[in-house]
Chain A
Amino acid sequence: MAQQQETVLAFRELTRRFGGVVALNKFDMELTNGQILGLIGPNGSGKTTSFNVLTGIYEANGGSIEFLGQDITSWPAQKVYEAGVARTFQRSRLCLELSIFDNIMIGNHKRLDQGLLFNIFKRKALREQIRENHEEARKLLKIFDPALADKMFDPVGSLRMIDRRRIEICRALISHPRLLLLDEPSAGMTHEETRELMDDILEVREMIDGLSIILVEHEMGMIERVTDKCIVLNFGQKICEGAYRDVASDKLVQEAYLGGE
């Protein structure tokens, strides 16, 4: 790992306001190849907003974002995805009336042939592509839950919350991103389920070369176990950065969490 100190992602004074609320305030951050970063902070501190600005859902009001050496600050969401950033959403955003396979393939968009003529006329090649991608999606899903892999053509709406979260993570991973953004993946899960989920994610990380992860999580056990470093946000500002152990014992951090409003 020693030589892989390439910077994957960097925020420089990243700022985003909503009316009078400063959701992100001059946020500086750097993430290197293969690193897992924990992003923590009280409710409303700007964690989700940083994902939304990074993935192009919201524009930044100031500062810049650099991804793999390119300035992507004002890129649209589609281009950010093409460049290798994939995410999950805090409030699950799957298409409930579509099948598991459909949902995972939405995440695979850049690796599928999207030409109009190809899709309408090259039916044989298309079928081949469908079969190959089905096999790949199955393999990926199997890591998370073998039972799910046998239900690829069931509607996602019929599944439990925890299975939906797994599918959302598969949708993000199927395209082999360089950077995975996980927004509270364990919400609503038990301790045991959370542990399993994180083990599965770590297993997949071994398969994808140089995958970095940013993890937003309230479950501190999980943060402690998997992250290489942590950043604490409060009112959109970074108040602390370092290994979990150091961050957790930091005075400012304890105040932010315990000191209430």
Chain B
Amino acid sequence: MTQSFKDKAVIVLLAAAAAAFTITFIAIEEQAEIFALILFAAALVFAGAKFGFTRSIAQSLSRNERLMNVAVIAATLVVIFWFREDHFPLLMIATVMLYVIACCGLNMQFGYTGVVNFAGAAFFGVGCYTAAVLGDTSIPLLLVIILGGVIAAIVGSVLIIPVLRTRGHYAAVVTIAFGLLFRTFLEVNDTLGGPQGLGVSGMNLFGWDFNNNIEITENIELSFYLNYVILALVMVILTFVLMRRIERSWIGLNFDAVRLDETAAACFGINIKRWKIVAFTLGNFLAGTAGALYAMMLGFIAPSNFAFSDSLILVSIVLLGGMGSLWGTILAAGLVVLLPEKLQVIQEYRFLIYAVVMILILLFRPQGILPRGLRAYIPGWRG
């Protein structure tokens, strides 16, 4: 067997295994079975790391990036169509995807550039409220999603001066304060529904109503959430393309330089403020677009969706997956969103468990579960 054939086989098998695992994980209900499945997966991961499979698989993947992308998308489609008739699994999958987009925004901000943002849920929320307010107007809803991002970016600009002026803990405090203010503002603001929140009209694309189930034949009716999952998948793909292109360019390099050593960066002409503003704005834009579709999908939003704890969840996804690591973000978003839904024990002690996991990660694996690799400007090219 040639190496390239082996690589391809590894990728296809891996994608198939991942799809099968995800389907099983989402489908089973029995708590004991879910535990067993998680333990099985953990054992596989540890064994893989111990016997060096992980490294050789990682090499196969990095040599065939395009095939890997295609395989991941195909696996996702398989999972989606497996659950084509079931509302709840599709809702969960779409939620994971929208969290992935919002966390990509955070990755742009502090994974790449080191700009902390503990108000991620607030920017996601700006997107949600944009969809609620503009959803009933004559503005095309696809445009409303983009406007959700634009308005989140604009709202974020009030934070730019404090974010540029402060560093580390202080910047964290500033963004936390902003997140709390945002929620309080929503609660007292009657035009935005106050504490009760607002209804949001569903997505409608060129006359195709996303909130209707899709009737194929008399016996086959697909869940309307399928519409949302597919649109969310398209948005995730676009977000990934943007993140990748930025990372693999001089801009990604500037971001890294700003994060790692501001003084040295300044001595080589890198405009610290400019790149922090670019990262902060793009990141909030992404969070806002995710929020807008999320609101349309749920049909209803309230200030309680955008608490500080929700911002913390976004941050913990980024840390868990690995700062700046895109695949890590997907894995972590999947774990953080799905595990509490599947395991009632976790549901109850949700935040306690998050806190413990976060501390363990920061102590023992600060680079996250799937650490970001070195920048490969051109995939497969090493000079």
Contact surface of A with B, Cβ cutoff 8 Å? 55-57, 76-78, 81-82, 86-87, 89, 93-99, 101-102, 105-107, 109-110, 112-114, 116, 119-120, 123, 126-127, 130, 134, 138, 152-153, 155, 171, 175
B378/A107 in contact, CB under 8 A: no
B375/A120 in contact, CB under 8 A: no
A106/B251 in contact, CB under 8 A: no
Judged by a CB distance under 8 angstroms, whether B18 is at the interface is: no
Additional A-B contact list (10), CB under 8 Å, known A106-B257, A130-B377, A152-B383: A77-B267, A78-B266, A94-B264, A102-B256, A106-B270, A107-B268, A116-B278, A119-B249, A130-B378, A153-B376
Judged by a CB distance under 8 angstroms, whether B346 is at the interface is: no
A120/B253 in contact, CB under 8 A: no
Which of B242, B263, B269 is in CB contact (< 8 Å) with A57? B263
Tell me the bound Cα distance from A157 to B352 in angstroms: 36
Which of A102, A120, A152 is in CB contact (< 8 Å) with B242? A120
B267/A110 in contact, CB under 8 A: no
Which of B245, B257, B269, B377 is in CB contact (< 8 Å) with A95? B257
Given the known A-B contacts A98-B260, A134-B383, are A119 and B246 also in contact in the complex, defined by CB atoms under 8 Å? Answer: yes
> Which A residues are CB-close (under 8 A) to B263?
57, 77, 93
Tell me the bound Cα distance from A105 to B270 in angstroms: 11
> Interface residues of B toward A: which range?
20 to 34
A105/B253 in contact, CB under 8 A: yes
A81/B267 in contact, CB under 8 A: yes
Judged by a CB distance under 8 angstroms, whether B261 is at the interface is: yes
A105/B269 in contact, CB under 8 A: no
Tell me the bound Cα distance from A152 to B260 in angstroms: 19
Judged by a CB distance under 8 angstroms, whether B265 is at the interface is: yes
> Which A residues are CB-close (under 8 A) to B374?
98-99, 102, 153, 155
B250/A114 in contact, CB under 8 A: yes
A55/B267 in contact, CB under 8 A: yes
B257/A78 in contact, CB under 8 A: no
> Which A residues are CB-close (under 8 A) to B50?
none
> Which A residues are CB-close (under 8 A) to B271?
78
Residue interface mask B351-382, A partner, CB < 8 A = 1: 00000000000000000000000111110001
> Which A residues are CB-close (under 8 A) to B260?
95-98
Could you pull out 24 A-B pairs where Cβ atoms are within 8 angstroms?
A57-B266, A57-B267, A77-B263, A77-B267, A78-B270, A86-B267, A94-B264, A95-B256, A95-B261, A98-B375, A102-B253, A102-B374, A105-B250, A109-B250, A109-B254, A109-B268, A110-B269, A114-B254, A120-B242, A120-B246, A126-B249, A127-B378, A130-B377, A171-B268
